[in-house]
Amino acid sequence: MTTFYKILVFIHIFSAILGMGPGFILIHVVKSAKTMTQLKYAYAIRRKLHTFVMIGGTLLLITGLLMGFLNPGLFQMGWYVTSLVLFLIALAMGPLVLAPKSKPLKHLLETYKGEDIPEEYIRLSNQLFRYEHIENGIFLIIIALMILKPF
pLDDT at 31: 94
Q: Residue 97: which residues within 8 A CB-CB, separation 6 or more?
A: 131
In the chain, the number of structural domains is: 1
37: domain range? 3-148
Average pLDDT score over the chain: 95
Environment class of 57 (CB within 10 Å of its CB; exposed 0-12, middle 13-18, buried 19+) = buried
pLDDT in tens, 89-141: 999 999 999 999 999 999 999 999 999 999 999 999 999 999 999 999 999 99
> Is pTM, for the whole model, over 0.85?
yes
State yes or no: pLDDT of 1 exceeds 80: no
